[in-house]
């Protein structure tokens, strides 16, 4: 009796990858959500400022500081109310009846005597003080306080300021004098003098502003942020939505289709291998603390990258004379790239594993690998141009891909603000959000992150003079 054929199970249908349109929805939605968060933070900060930082009269007020001169008067640098920072005219309706803001100047003579405070058109003030010695405040540092003055010389004596008719607002007398001025269009200056026109002025002064629109700007930012956040969340949800309840994510590994002979050479893998295998199960809460856990690696990598740059310069001179990259330096620099890739794979470059990266330059048993084959010969001429000239197109792309790291809110020398990390940072934030909120890595994001990181490390190796082959403009191998 002939053997009966053994029934076979039908092959499962191939998993469909995310379409280009869905990937675009995810990326655009993620960017919209990040912009929305920035708007919400800015709106919340303005709301806090409006509700907590005004004095009892509703003014935002500076600290009281001492200003003094041995001349007849102290003046402010002229300030322009007619134009905004871009030079465009401020609409008249904003300046009517103090709608935009009211300025307050409070001043008291340091010796308890009398003081004059006035606000007037800058050209009238300069004409009034023409030929008179006075100091103009041109710069102020607040911490510690220090005022910089510019002296205008002259031997004349001004007429009493109270007799002048050009002041838009003025106050004179003993004790604290207060001037409140609903701002108007034009260029203006603040003047402080002795009303009896004696030389030498020393006053304790503060400035305040009652800005009427802060609350409305805060509300507008909060509403815009909420709407944009909802739109971003909707785009992300549509991008990840599956059809018929099936996971439409990219398969983790797809065998490459055979290539025609004439295109095989063009599609050969680039000689910088950057690979990663994502863990099947990932801790949903670990993304919240990995930024703390990688601090030791960040400290070590900062030193390693400093050595990388110095040794790359040394290697460049060696290539110019010998056409060879010193092997010890090459192995070290590859190790720096390898270490960096492991840390990024663990943290916010991919969030691909929960295994803590080893402190090692060499190959290790780890789900993220990087390797660069040693070149026997390198071009002397290319050393002079590839890292600063030929790589410029890739630098532009890498700037978009990598930016400066994941998005975060923090402090730098210019104050508090947002910093953006490029597309890798955005997608890592999406991946981390999927893990934390839903307990799963969003399908289709990991292959994109892997491809983007490949691009970055290929350019790093090329700019590090390790290979002469020009990096391809692609995410694949």
Q: How high is the mean pLDDT in each 10-residue block of the chain (477 residues)?
A: 50 49 68 81 88 88 90 87 51 56 91 93 92 90 85 87 92 93 86 92 91 86 88 75 44 43 59 95 94 93 92 92 94 96 95 95 95 94 88 87 54 40 84 89 90 94 95 89
**Same domain assignment for residues 335 and 205:** no
Does residue 127 form part of some domain? yes
> Does residue 412 sit in the same domain as residue 280?
yes
| CA distances from residue 215 to 221, 249, 418 in whole angstroms, order as listed | 10, 45, 22
Residue 48 belongs to a domain: no
- Helical H runs in 197-326? 214-240, 261-264, 290-293, 295-322
* Shared domain check, 283 and 207: no
Q: Left, alpha or beta for 294 (phi > 0: left; psi -120 to 50: alpha)?
A: alpha
Q: Is residue 229 part of a domain?
A: no
Q: Residue 303: its pLDDT value, please?
A: 92
Both 284 and 429 in one domain: the answer is yes
Q: Work out the burial of residue 398: count CB atoms within 10 Å of its CB; fewer than 13 is exposed, 13-18 middle, 19 or more buried.
A: buried
Domain match, 332 and 448 both: yes
| Residue 254 located in a structural domain | no
Classify residue 35 as exposed, middle or buried by CB count within 10 Å of its CB (0-12, 13-18, 19+). middle
Indicate whether 186 and 315 sit together in one domain. no
Instruction: State which of 186, 212, 238 marks the end of a domain.
Output: 212
Examine the domain organization and report whether 279 and 179 are in the same domain.
Answer: no
Q: Which among 194, 212, 230 is the end of a domain?
A: 212
Identify whether 52 is part of a domain.
Answer: no
Domain match, 167 and 301 both: no
| Predicted local confidence at residue 26, as pLDDT | 67
Same domain, residue pair 207 and 345? no
pTM score: 0.54
Domain presence at residue 79: yes
Q: Are residues 102 and 196 in the same domain?
A: yes
**Bond before 250 cis per omega within 30 degrees:** no
**Do residues 195 and 315 share a domain?**
no
Cα–Cα distance measured from residue 224 to residue 235, given in angstroms and rounded to the nearest whole number: 16
Structural domains of the chain, count: 2
pLDDT at 99: 61
**For residue 203, what is the domain's CATH number?**
2.60.120.380
Flag whether 472 is in a domain: no
pLDDT of res. 89:
53
State residue 185's pLDDT score: 77
How many angstroms separate the Cα of 12 from the Cα of each of 76, 143, 258, 323, 465?
A: 79, 69, 21, 53, 46
Is residue 94 domain-shared with residue 195, that is, in the same domain? yes
Give domain status of residue 13, yes or no: no
Of 212, 233, 259, which residue is a domain's last? 212
pLDDT for 429:
87
Instruction: Convert 316-334 to b/e letters by CB count within 10 Å (16 or more is b).
Output: bebbeeeeebbeebbebbb
Using the CB atoms, write b or e for 169-207: b if 16+ within 10 Å. bbbbeeebbebbbbbbbbebbbbbbbbebeeebbbbbbb
Pairing mode of beta strands 169-174, 79-80: unpaired
335 in Cβ contact with 361 (< 8 Å): yes
The domain in which residue 281 lies consists of 272-463
Q: Exposed/middle/buried for 275, CB within 10 Å: 0-12, 13-18, 19+?
A: middle
Structure tokens at 170: 């003025």
Q: Which of 449, 415, 319 is nearest to 374 (CA)?
A: 319
Q: How far apart are CA 453 and CA 425, in angstroms?
A: 11
């Amino acid at each position: 009796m002939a053997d009966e054929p053994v029934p076979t199970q039908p092959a499962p249908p191939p998993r469909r990858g995310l379409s280009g349109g869905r990937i675009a929805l995810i990326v655009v939605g993620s960017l919209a959500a990040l912009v929305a968060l920035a708007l919400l933070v800015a709106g919340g900060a303005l709301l806090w400022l409006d509700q907590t930082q005004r004095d009892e009269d509703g003014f935002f007020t500076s600290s009281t500081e001492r200003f003094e001169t041995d001349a007849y008067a102290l003046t402010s640098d002229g300030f322009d109310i007619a134009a905004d920072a871009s030079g465009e005219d401020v609409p008249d309706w904003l300046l009517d009846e103090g709608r935009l803001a009211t300025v307050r100047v409070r001043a008291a003579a340091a010796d308890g005597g009398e003081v004059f405070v006035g606000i007037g058109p800058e050209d009238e003030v300069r004409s009034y003080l023409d030929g008179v010695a006075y100091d103009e405040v041109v710069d102020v540092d607040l911490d510690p306080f220090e005022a910089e003055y510019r002296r205008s010389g002259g031997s004349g004596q001004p007429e009493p300021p109270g007799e002048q008719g050009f002041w838009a607002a003025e106050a004179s007398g003993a004790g604290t004098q207060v001037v409140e001025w609903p701002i108007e269009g034009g260029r203006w200056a603040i003047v402080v003098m002795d009303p009896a026109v004696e030389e030498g002025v020393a006053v304790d002064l503060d400035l305040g502003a009652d800005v009427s629109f802060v609350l409305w700007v805060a509300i507008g930012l909060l509403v815009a942020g909420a709407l944009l956040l909802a739109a971003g969340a909707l785009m992300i949800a549509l991008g990840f939505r599956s059809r018929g309840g099936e996971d439409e994510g990219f398969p983790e590994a797809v065998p490459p289709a055979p290539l025609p002979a004439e295109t095989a050479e063009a599609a050969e893998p680039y000689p910088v291998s950057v690979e990663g295998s994502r863990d099947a199960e990932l801790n949903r809460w670990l993304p919240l603390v990995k930024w703390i856990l990688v601090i030791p690696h960040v400290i070590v990598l900062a030193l390693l990258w400093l050595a990388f740059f110095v040794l790359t310069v040394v290697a460049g001179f060696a290539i110019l004379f010998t056409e060879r990259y010193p092997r010890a330096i090459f192995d070290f620099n590859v190790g720096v790239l390898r270490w960096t890739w492991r840390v990024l794979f663990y943290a916010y470059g991919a969030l691909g594993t929960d295994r803590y990266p080893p402190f090692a330059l060499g190959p290790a048993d780890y789900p993220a690998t990087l390797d660069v084959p040693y070149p026997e010969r390198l071009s002397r001429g290319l050393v002079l141009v590839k890292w600063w000239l030929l790589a410029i197109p890739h630098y532009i792309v890498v700037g978009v891909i990598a930016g400066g790291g994941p998005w975060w809110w923090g402090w730098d020398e210019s104050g508090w603000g947002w910093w953006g990390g490029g597309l890798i940072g955005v997608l890592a934030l999406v991946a981390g959000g999927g893990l934390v909120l839903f307990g799963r890595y969003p399908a289709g994001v990991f292959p994109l992150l892997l491809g983007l990181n490949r691009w970055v490390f290929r350019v790093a190796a090329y700019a590090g003079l390790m290979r002469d082959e020009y990096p391809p403009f692609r995410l694949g191998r």
